[in-house]
Amino acid sequence: MRDTSLFIISGPSGVGKSTLVRQVLADLRGLEFSVSHTSRAKRPGEVEGKDYYFISRDEFETMIREDRFIEWAVVHGQYYGTSKREIEKKAAQADVILDIDVQGAQQIKDKMKRGIFIFIFPPSFEELKKRLYKRGESEAALQKRLESARKELRFYSQFDYLIINDQLDKAVTELEAVILATRCSLEKQTKNILPILQSFLDEF
Ligand code: ADP
Ligand code: 5GP
């Protein structure tokens, strides 16, 4: 678990986080998605246990009381959280990518003292509105999400990397670049180079 990395992706609703994450998971090996719990209703096409674990508000509150979340927050009036079990399970075998809001990202930073924090920016307010609209959000949900977006953008300076999702393929490449560069860091590569160094010592 200590050798694997946590990539925390945040940014306003509708900016394209799920789209980006889906593509990166398809492209890169050794990467698992952290499936969150939520009290919000399932959207058409979403799959239980793959997109989210869909639970009731009561069940969510029980999990809070039992201290089963690494982080949780109320986002747009619904509960969302990352369970300790999910991270323990996924991070034991691979790097893990989390798609969570800025409050959750802050909690991970404070509690776990690890993680690579990546903030996704929309190209503009107008474009964010268009994307939310295209996703079929109701007028009320759209307004709520645009209002939250204004607040969420203020947190960008707490993040390690900023990606502007204008062209999707460029943003995917940039996100993959961050992940691959992290994997090549001195800290991550030390265990991999030991046998190489050893092979040189064996020559003498
Ligand atoms: P989030 O997970 O951040 O809430 P989604 O991944 O659901 O956002 O994306 C919201 C909408 O925007 C979707 O309809 C998606 O297809 C679209 N979208 C994502 N990235 C881009 C992009 N670079 N250009 C245009 N549309 C995009
Ligand atoms: P959506 O309802 O559009 O899937 O997600 C709404 C928001 O909740 C997004 O900003 C998403 O990143 C965030 N979110 C999803 N899962 C979690 C989680 O486990 N914890 C927190 N704090 N936010 C989450």
pLDDT at 6: 97
Encode pLDDT of 49-107 as tens digits.
999 999 999 999 999 999 999 999 999 899 999 999 999 999 999 999 999 999 999 99
Residue 202 and residue 119: Cα distance in Å, rounded?
46
Residue nearest to atom 14 of ligand 2 (CA): 100
**Token representation of residue 117:** 């924090």
Q: Which helix (H) or strand (E) holds 2?
A: none
Mutate to test the pocket of ligand 1, among 22, 78, 129, 131 (most ligand atoms within 8 A of CB): 131
Encode pLDDT of 178-193 as tens digits.
999 999 999 999 989 9
Q: How confident is the model at residue 204 (pLDDT cuts 50, 70, 90)?
A: low
If you measure from the C-alpha of residue 93 to the centroid of ligand 1, how many angstroms do you get, rounded to a whole number? 29
Ligand 1 atom closest to the CA of 13, numbered from 1 = 4
Give yes or no for a contact between 170 and 180, defined as CB atoms under 8 angstroms apart.
Answer: no
Residue 29 and residue 153: Cα distance in Å, rounded?
30
pLDDT at 116: 97
Nearest to 35 by CA among 5, 15, 55: 55
Which domains, from first to last, does the chain contain? 6-34+94-201 (3.40.50.300)
pLDDT at 79: 98
CB count in 10 Å sphere of residue 70:
22
If you measure from the C-alpha of residue 91 to the centroid of ligand 1, how many angstroms do you get, rounded to a whole number? 27
* Any atom of ligand 1 within 6 Å of the Cβ of 17: yes
- Helix locations, 28-95, DSSP H: 57-65, 84-91
